[in-house]
């Protein structure tokens, strides 16, 4: 832009709100989330950075910010302090971050008496219909969870400035960096691309750590039972399951002449089917044992064996037992 004689617009700057005095964890998270091309460039120039370490200097400036500070200082574009010396790197980055972290739609105006007045610029927006879905961070196997990062799934139309302003104005969350990437739905052979499966992922660096709640599966037995009881009490999970089961049963039974009686004997529940199978298996084994005893007794007495007659007798016995039970 400068080579074309154009003024560098404020909105064209990177919309990060990196603070100068950040915790070590936030600085390490910022270094770990650096884009791959920047990582390779810094590794070639400064050497590799160990895992869990930061490449920021003592003032908290990244190599890119520190290089920009030195370049502006050499050009004489760093503001001069009261005693005639240029700002230090820490003072300069704080001034830049104050400008970066300003709230969009507001500006300070100086009145005639010298007082400052906050004036709304543009159109006020109430109750923004922006959906931020918080998901767990991607953690490689063997590495600890990074509490200085938060991952969101957002609409593709939301920008980094919108993310920073939304988190700051609504939740008071201060961010150190924002990385975004788009995910597009795969092609379906029958329906083509499905737009509802496309989304934007935003990885946001945090000044204060955020620890995601433990999964119920990862809790200890006592805490897991306590958590499940609380969920059941607050959200009536068991009651909703019973109501859903009753409604499905009511719809399946029907009404009026189309209704039929619910017979537990022919229910298609797995437990009932297994019980019926076990009962029939037991009856078959008892019948085989009884026929074997009859054959053994007749052999001991020396009587002739007629297997056809034994089969007819066992069949009649089974029919009589079934009739008696009914």
pLDDT in tens, 164-203: 888 888 888 888 889 999 988 777 777 666 656 788 999 9
If you write DSSP's letter for every residue of 132-200 in order, what string do you get?
A: -EEEPPP--TTS---TTEEEEEE-TT--HHHHHHHIIIII---EEEEEEEEE-PPPBTTTB--GGG-EE
Q: Where are the domains of the chain?
A: 10-120, 133-206, 222-258, 264-319
pLDDT of residue 17: 43
> How far apart are alpha carbons 180 and 15 in whole angstroms?
12
Whole-angstrom Cα Rg for the chain: 38
State yes or no: pLDDT of 314 exceeds 80. Answer: no
State yes or no: pLDDT of 9 exceeds 70. Answer: no
pLDDT of residue 204: 93
CATH of domain 133-206: 3.30.70.330
- A 10 A CB-CB count for 161 gives 13
**Which one-letter DSSP state was computed for residue 251?**
H
State yes or no: pLDDT of 5 exceeds 90. Answer: no
- For residue 162, name the pLDDT band (cuts at 50, 70, 90): confident
Q: What tokens were used for 161?
A: 């400035």
């Amino acid at each position: 832009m400068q080579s074309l004689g154009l003024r560098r617009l404020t909105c064209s700057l990177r919309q990060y709100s990196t603070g100068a005095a950040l915790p070590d964890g936030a600085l390490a998270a910022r270094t770990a989330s650096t884009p791959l091309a920047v990582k390779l460039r810094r590794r070639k120039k400064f050497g590799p950075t160990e895992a869990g370490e930061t490449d920021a200097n003592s003032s908290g400036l990244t190599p890119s910010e520190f290089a920009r500070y030195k370049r502006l200082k050499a050009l004489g574009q760093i503001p001069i302090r009261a005693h005639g010396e240029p700002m230090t790197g820490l003072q300069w980055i704080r001034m830049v971050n104050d400008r970066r972290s300003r709230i969009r739609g507001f500006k300070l105006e100086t009145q005639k008496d010298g007082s400052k007045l906050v004036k709304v610029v543009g159109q006020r927006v109430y109750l923004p219909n922006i959906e931020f879905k918080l998901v767990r961070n991607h953690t490689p196997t063997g590495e600890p969870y990074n509490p200085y990062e938060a991952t969101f799934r957002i609409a593709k139309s939301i920008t980094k400035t919108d993310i920073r302003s939304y988190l700051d104005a609504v939740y008071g969350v201060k961010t150190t960096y924002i990385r975004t990437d788009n995910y597009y739905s795969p092609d379906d052979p029958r329906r083509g691309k499905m737009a509802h499966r496309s989304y934007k992922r935003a990885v946001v660096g945090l000044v204060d750590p955020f620890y995601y709640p433990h999964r119920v599966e990862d809790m200890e037995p006592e805490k897991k039972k306590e958590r499940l009881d609380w969920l059941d009490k607050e959200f009536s999970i068991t009651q909703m399951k019973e109501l859903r089961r009753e409604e499905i049963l009511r719809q399946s039974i029907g009404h009026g002449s189309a209704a039929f009686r619910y017979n537990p004997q022919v229910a298609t529940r797995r437990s009932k089917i297994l019980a019926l199978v076990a009962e029939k298996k037991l009856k078959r084994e008892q019948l085989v044992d009884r026929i074997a005893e009859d054959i053994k007794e007749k052999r001991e007495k020396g009587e002739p064996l007629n297997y056809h007659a034994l089969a007819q007798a066992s069949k009649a016995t089974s029919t009589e037992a079934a009739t008696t039970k009914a």
